[in-house]
Amino acid sequence: MSSIYEVSSPASASAPYDLLVVGGGINGCGIARDAAGRGASVLLVEQDDLASHTSSASTKLIHGGLRYLEYYEFRLVREALMERERLLKIAPHIIWPMRFVLPHSKMLRPAWLLRTGLFLYDHLCPNMTLPRTKALNLRTAPAGKPLRSDYVRGFEYSDGWVQDSRLVVLNAMDAVRVGAKIETRTRLVNAARGSQGWTATLENTDTGEKSTVQAKALVNAAGPWVAELLQDRLNVPSRNRVRLVKGSHIVVPRVFEGSQAYIFQNPDKRIVFAIPYEQDFTLIGTTDVPWEQDPAHVEISPDEITYLCESVNRYFTKSVRPEDVVWTYAGVRPLYDDNSGNASAVTRDYVLDVDATAAPILSVFGGKITTFRKLAEHAVEKLAPHLPVLKKPGWTDGTPLPGGEFAPKDFDVQLSRFRAHAPHLSERTSWRLMRNYGLRAYVIATSDPEGMGQMFGDTLSAREVDYLIENEWARSAEDILWRRSRLGLFVSDADRAALQTYVEGRLQEDVTPVSNPGPVARQNVA
């Protein structure tokens, strides 16, 4: 496997790109991957790190959206459920099945309504492979043990868990594999539109250096900034609007045992998840709060922390207090504005707006992480009439993401093989590396402990850090600790400072690949 520097092959200075993608979240990286794989020359620019904002602030679920059925979003739920099946196959290292326990509350939605919704959830997807819904007696079922005694009945259904920021990075890596160029810390200053294409001014946000590129078409996948980009930097009018809704989460020490997650109904009709997180913690979220401030500076409020604690305390015997919170995160969802009065009722569907009055531009409004691949496919298909190179067939539905070249059922087998390769690693470290990198973990792990190099607290080695710098666009300790991993929960301030010093030193050197074992065998898993 080559480093990002070796694989990236930009178009010549005189030749325009076919496609300039603005935004390094899940939608932008998904579109760049799909388009490059069809033969287009693609440049993606992201003003910060990949997945810096919305795409790393999700509830970490690959799900159909059970509650969307309440708003009659049947098409969206069906598409999401079908995509859930595809994503489980193409990224079995970072996406895996999870069972969700839904206790029935007599004060909220009636049991018949829950049964009906769950029946539809099981049958809207024609190729569902996950276990179907079953009723639970919470007084006798192990999943009922953490719950208060007044919850007697419940249901258990299937959805999926995802390491969201890693999903973004893997899409970017695969985009590079098929020919795209990815530039992080690169801001689109403005772009001028002509009849034959776009002339864009870019700025390196680290150095302030500016450059100019040409592209035949432009994709606006700027997420919360989609409307601002159109109006202020592209001068393109749009009839569509984006509605910003803040979603916040808290992380607390583990509240319950077991691998199952819980979905709780609140009196305000919202739902809150409680999910096992990084083996030692419980993730609780999310909220739905209208947001009208800068999307780049968003954080949880004390009222939201209280709300999330109260939400789970209605159900769990073990209480969760604000002082138990070890970490919080918040993100802004750029939802398509369908004029819903309630933030929770705003559609999670997406709108792809193509303006081809001059050089084409496609803007992405809305979307959810589960449907990113289908959104990307639809986006490329909508651009194809204006960019003939994109008329080739779609290809992403069965092609594994980097490291995911094995069947989902084989994860435990792969983990055992990896442990035999690097027996000096602890069970926890081996699990984490396989869950983060899949088969790419072999590039990181050496057969002897000395080869791993300096340690930066917990299980983070210099070997892994080098891999992330050389192959995954990591440029800071924050990139590594929070978006390439979740090790920020475990390392000390001193380790974090040492890591930052090491990263800065490595970036001043000539970066070479950690290892170059040759291409990993790829297979279609459809």
Task: Specify the CATH number for the domain of residue 308.
Answer: 3.30.9.10
Please tell me whether residues 50 and 177 are part of one structural domain: yes
Domain for residue 331, yes or no?
yes
Instruction: Spell out the residues 6+ positions from residue 473 whose beta carbon is closer than 8 angstroms to its own.
Output: 4, 49, 50, 169, 172, 182, 184, 479
Domain for residue 526, yes or no?
no
Determine contact, residues 66/377, Cβ cutoff 8 Å: no
First-last CA distance in the chain: 24
Please tell me whether residues 129 and 249 are part of one structural domain: yes
- Rounded to the nearest angstrom, the gap between the alpha carbon of residue 355 and the centroid of all alpha carbons in its chain is 28
Instruction: Give me the pLDDT at residue 348, please.
Output: 64
Return the amino acid letter for 167. Answer: L
Please tell me whether residues 320 and 226 are part of one structural domain: no
CATH code of residue 220: 3.50.50.60
State the chain's mean pLDDT as an integer: 91
Tokens encoding 428: 């926890």
What proportion of the chain, given as a percentage, has pLDDT over 90?
81
Domain boundary among 336, 366, 382: 336
Q: pLDDT category, 349, cuts 50, 70, 90? A: confident
Helical pair 26-37 and 164-177, crossing angle rounded to 10 deg: 20
Please tell me whether residues 288 and 267 are part of one structural domain: yes
Determine contact, residues 438/92, Cβ cutoff 8 Å: yes
Determine contact, residues 20/198, Cβ cutoff 8 Å: yes
3-state helix, strand, coil in the chain (%, to 5): 35, 25, 40
pTM above 0.75, yes or no: yes
Query: Does the pLDDT of residue 475 top 60, yes or no?
Result: yes
* 143-183 pLDDT tens trace: 999 999 999 999 999 999 999 999 999 999 999 999 999 99
Please tell me whether residues 233 and 258 are part of one structural domain: no
Domain for residue 448, yes or no?
yes
Domain for residue 76, yes or no?
no
Please state whether 500 falls in left (phi above 0), alpha (psi between -120 and 50) or beta: alpha
Please tell me whether residues 147 and 289 are part of one structural domain: yes
Query: Does the pLDDT of residue 490 top 80, yes or no?
Result: yes
Please tell me whether residues 144 and 263 are part of one structural domain: yes
* 362-421 pLDDT tens trace: 999 998 999 999 999 999 999 999 999 999 999 999 999 999 999 999 999 999 999 999
Query: Does the pLDDT of residue 283 top 50, yes or no?
Result: yes
CA distance 406 to 354: 37
Domain for residue 26, yes or no?
yes
Residue 374 CA neighbour count, 13 Å, CB half: 21
Query: Does the pLDDT of residue 99 top 50, yes or no?
Result: yes
Please tell me whether residues 262 and 147 are part of one structural domain: yes
Instruction: Give me the pLDDT at residue 72, please.
Output: 79
CA dihedral 93, 32, 298, 274 (to 10 degrees): -30
Please tell me whether residues 200 and 224 are part of one structural domain: yes
Query: Does the pLDDT of residue 346 top 80, yes or no?
Result: no
Domain boundary among 294, 313, 336: 336
Q: pLDDT category, 518, cuts 50, 70, 90? A: very low
Instruction: Give me the pLDDT at residue 71, please.
Output: 74
Domain for residue 65, yes or no?
no
Instruction: Spell out the residues 6+ positions from residue 154 whose beta carbon is closer than 8 angstroms to its own.
Output: 101, 102, 103, 104, 135, 136, 138, 141, 143, 144
Please tell me whether residues 146 and 289 are part of one structural domain: yes
* 228-257 pLDDT tens trace: 999 999 999 888 888 899 999 999 999 999
Q: How many domains does the chain have?
A: 3
CA distance 79 to 124: 9
Any alpha helices (H) in 356-482, and if so which ranges?
372-383, 411-421, 427-437, 441-444, 462-471, 477-478
Domain for residue 522, yes or no?
no
CA dihedral 83, 85, 91, 93 (to 10 degrees): 140
CA distance 474 to 484: 8
Domain boundary among 336, 356, 381: 336
Please tell me whether residues 25 and 108 are part of one structural domain: no
* 186-208 pLDDT tens trace: 999 999 999 889 999 999 999 99
189-208 burial: b if 16+ Cβ within 10 Å, else e: eebebeeebbebebbeeeee
Please give the residue that has the higher pLDDT: either 3 or 300.
300
Please tell me whether residues 328 and 436 are part of one structural domain: no
Q: Tell me the three state secondary structure of residue 287.
A: coil
CA distance 157 to 246: 27
Q: pLDDT category, 347, cuts 50, 70, 90? A: low
Tokens encoding 321: 């207090």
Domain that holds residue 447: 408-507
Domain for residue 69, yes or no?
no
CA distance 117 to 270: 16
